Amino acid sequence: MLFGTLQLSTSAPMELIDITARIQELVSAQGLEAGICTLFNPHTTAGVTINEGADPDVQDDLIGALRRIVPRDYPYKHREGNSPSHVMASLTGSSLAVPFVDGSLRLGTWQRIFFCEYDGPRQRSLNWYIQTG
């Protein structure tokens, strides 16, 4: 198994960062034909997801919908004040598995991989693992 860490800088309290090109580059650099690239986010106030990347309004809609689904004014008990970020991270999840064939990610036509920041701006890391065979 191959593995490594991708470093990310986020610049807003909430944002979706398209990391597809970076993931494709690291898969291509391995020179492998086929396998699975697993991404694991080790942060409790951020997530990873696959969604449409052609229209940036989709990213804005996702953030807007999450803000409506997860109210900031709920009487959260967590004293740090970032409970909504924890809830949003649970909704999007902390890991993804993306197959690749002939060295290329097998994403759908409009699909992109996004790192989801819910408690930024911050320095973040994303662990990647590649399995073949």
Please say if the pLDDT value at position 133 is more than 90.
no
Domain containing residue 124: CATH number? 2.60.120.460
The answer to whether 128 and 3 have CB atoms below 8 angstroms apart is: yes
Instruction: Compute the half-sphere exposure of residue 60: CA atoms within 13 Å on the CB side of its CA.
Output: 4
For the stretch 44-72, pLDDT in tens is 999 999 999 999 999 999 999 999 999 99
From 6, 35, 30, select the one nearest 113 (Cα to Cα). 6
Which residue range is the domain that position 93 belongs to? 2-131
Please say if the pLDDT value at position 113 is more than 90.
yes
Domain count, the chain: 1
Query: For position 16, what pLDDT does the model report?
Result: 98
Mean pLDDT taken over the chain: 97
